[in-house]
Amino acid sequence: MISVDELKFDSNGLIPAVVQDHYSKKVLTVAYMNKESLKTSIEKGLTCFWSRSRQCFWTKGETSGNYQHVVSIIADCDKDALVVEVVKDGPACHTGLDSCFDGENIVWVSEELKQFSLDGLYELIKGRKTNPQEGSYTTYLFDKGLDKILKKVGEESTEVIVAGKGGSKEETIYEISDLVYHVMVLMVQMGISTKDIIAELEKRHVIDKKVKQETMK
């Protein structure tokens, strides 16, 4: 643990703060803090920044209600920049987007190095629901509705069991991949985010840890 006084603020008394979603690890926004706003963020457990344009303090969510509850604040190796992990109550961007980096302002993307992620798959599936594409299997599932999606989840679950029972690792991986995809389609259909699942699993981990501690007494 280091103190606020050990941080290196610039000539204007500011330090950049990269705000990151605690669950998804997505970068939500980049803002600035001074010593007072940083101390306020720590004391209140809510992100408080210094607005360079308005020259005043502002607590995220004080107008919109989309507060950001601080989980941790970590400085980089030079102690002149911060990563602030938060649990947010709503969109981080004033435009209503989940993140200030969710827009179309893409500067460059390396298709060769671009990595696959479950969050990326979720957003792709979500896009097939909001912007249907002719010939897309995912769009077809959404068009057929919940019963069709549930049927596919059931079928894929059975295939995972059969593959696992057969002892083939390769086939089981293939069938689990099918199941994960169809479960994600169900999640999008029901408005369940990956964040919701991670939060539930994290809650179970905390409960399990407490139970373990109690049994060891």
- Which pLDDT score, from 0 to 100, does residue 209 have? 66
Helix (H) / strand (E) element for 73: namely strand 68-75
Domain ranges of the chain: 4-88, 118-215
Q: What class does CATH assign to 4-88? A: alpha beta
Q: Please answer whether residues 13 and 38 qualify as being in contact, where contact means their C-beta atoms are separated by less than 8 angstroms.
A: no
Of 127, 69, 126, 65, nearest to 96 by C-alpha is 65
Q: Both tokens of residue 139?
A: 């769009």
**Is the pLDDT reported for residue 216 higher than 90?**
no
Q: Are strands 27-33 and 15-21 parallel, antiparallel or unpaired?
A: antiparallel
What does the pLDDT look like over 156-197, one tens digit per residue?
999 999 999 999 999 999 999 999 999 999 999 999 999 899
- Which pLDDT score, from 0 to 100, does residue 186 have? 98
Q: What is the pTM of this model?
A: 0.60
Region 121-146 average pLDDT: 93
User: What residues does 32 pair with on adjacent strands?
Assistant: 16
Level-2 CATH architecture, domain 118-215: Orthogonal Bundle (1.10)
- Give CA–CA dist 121/10, Å, rounded: 40
**Is the pLDDT reported for residue 6 higher than 90?**
yes
Half-sphere exposure at residue 10, Cβ-oriented, CA atoms within 13 angstroms: 10
What does the pLDDT look like over 13-45, one tens digit per residue?
999 999 999 988 889 999 999 999 999 999 999
- Give CA–CA dist 92/66, Å, rounded: 7
Q: Please answer whether residues 84 and 31 qualify as being in contact, where contact means their C-beta atoms are separated by less than 8 angstroms.
A: no
What does the pLDDT look like over 76-127, one tens digit per residue?
999 999 999 999 999 999 888 889 988 778 788 776 666 778 888 998 999 9
Q: Please answer whether residues 125 and 138 qualify as being in contact, where contact means their C-beta atoms are separated by less than 8 angstroms.
A: yes
The answer to which of 5-9, 196-200, 207-211 has the lowest mean pLDDT is: 207-211
